[in-house]
Amino acid sequence: MTPDSRIYAYSAVLMGSPILLKLFEHNESLASGVFRLIKLQESTFTVNRPHSDIMAINHAAGRDPVTVSEPVFELIRRAKAISCLPDSSFNFTIGPLVKRWKIGFSGHSIPAAQDLQTLLSLTNPEDVILDEHTRSVFLQQAGMEIDLGAIAKGYIADVVRDYLRDQQVENALINLGGNVQTLGAGAEGAWAIGLKKPFASPDELIGVINVTGKSVVTSGIYERYFELDGHRYHHILDPKTGYPLDNELLSVTIISEDSIDGDIWTTLLYGMGVEKSLEYLKQIPHIEAVFVTHDGQIILSSQRQFAFTPLDDSYRITTY
Ligand code: ADP
Ligand code: MG
């Protein structure tokens, strides 16, 4: 990927991630508008600060329903619906487990099996009561905690895309640290998004995904983890066991129109594993996936909305 003089890049650290915005014009005020918007969204959805719209719901768990804004209510409604799908590995009430493990934060540790059992009883998504008329959210049990970490970045990436569109921007890229959303085709006929080499330095790529006006979301077990006694504990938890999801996958990348879908599907497919995912994806043509496995395979579900260029000979490519 050669640097292109027509592209202006703006960066910031927000939501605990490096954020990158690429524009086709030098426009500081547009860039600040984007970063302001992301900050505003972050302050709404974060659970890593004492106060936010989501923390207000969590603080009132077992006590009161909390009325929220329309977009917050809609996102929670969506998160609940996905969490309640049969056998879903996505669970937005996973908060108590995430807080206990502290993976990716200081103070991480392996919880006792008994603790996990206790905390698991606080993660039933059916215990989140939504009232459309009052737009309120009620966590039925004290100690329950919503965590939108697996969906919020995707949602925000789409909010940024819509904002840029409203500003008549036709060509841009926003990367929220693993969640990429694009407008237009970039400088070279398509935007090029690198697929990172697992557990290598961030600039080492095993391939490039080319898209036009699509989202590319990657969730990998090498992003946030800690190691203890030869075991690796990463940040995507299995809602059934309370332990990190363990299968053949190192990462799942989703190519889709909306980044929120990418964020949802990376987590869902992560739990399904490769074989089941490939079967499932046959029925949903607008969602496409790239899997990277422990045994050095890159598996492409299909390539309708993107092109893939491999960059590392040590990986075997399979296309369906
Ligand atoms: P990232 O972009 O940081 O990799 P993901 O979309 O993979 O984020 O979501 C991981 C985050 O979602 C975790 O940091 C945690 O806050 C939360 N989480 C962990 N396990 C689950 C799960 N099974 N379902 C829903 N959210 C989860
Ligand atoms: Mg996700």
The per-residue pLDDT for range 57-83, each reduced to its tens digit, is 999 999 999 999 999 999 999 999 999
Q: End-to-end CA distance of the chain, in Å?
A: 27
In this prediction, residue 56 carries a pLDDT of 98
223 lines ligand 1 (CB under 6 A): yes
Q: Which ligand neighbours the alpha carbon of 271 most closely?
A: 1
Mutate to test the pocket of ligand 1, among 19, 88, 94 (most ligand atoms within 8 A of CB): 94
- How many angstroms is it from 109 CA to the middle of ligand 1? 17
pTM for this entry: 0.96
In this prediction, residue 229 carries a pLDDT of 87
Angle at 223 between CA 37 and CA 207, to 5 degrees: 95
91 lines ligand 1 (CB under 6 A): yes
Spatial strand order of the sheet with 205-211 comes to 191-196, 205-211, 307-310
Pair type for strands 8-14 and 17-23: antiparallel
178 lines ligand 1 (CB under 6 A): yes
82 lines ligand 1 (CB under 6 A): no
Q: Which residues of the chain, if any, have pLDDT below 50?
A: 1
In this prediction, residue 5 carries a pLDDT of 75
Give me the sign of the Cα torsion angle 51, 136, 100, 151: negative
The domain segmentation of the chain, as residue ranges, is: 53-139
User: CA 15, CA 268: separation in Å to the nearest integer?
Assistant: 22
Residues found in the chain: 320
Q: Domain 53-139: what homologous superfamily?
A: ApbE-like superfamily (1.10.3980.10)
Cα Rg of the chain (Å, integer): 20
On the 0-12 / 13-18 / 19+ scale of CB atoms within 10 A, 87 is: exposed
- How many angstroms is it from 167 CA to the middle of ligand 1? 31
Report which protein residue has its CA nearest ligand 1's atom 1: 219
In this prediction, residue 1 carries a pLDDT of 45
3-state secondary structure 173-205: EEECCCEEEEECCCCCCCEEEEEECCCCCCCCE
In this prediction, residue 3 carries a pLDDT of 63
237 lines ligand 1 (CB under 6 A): yes
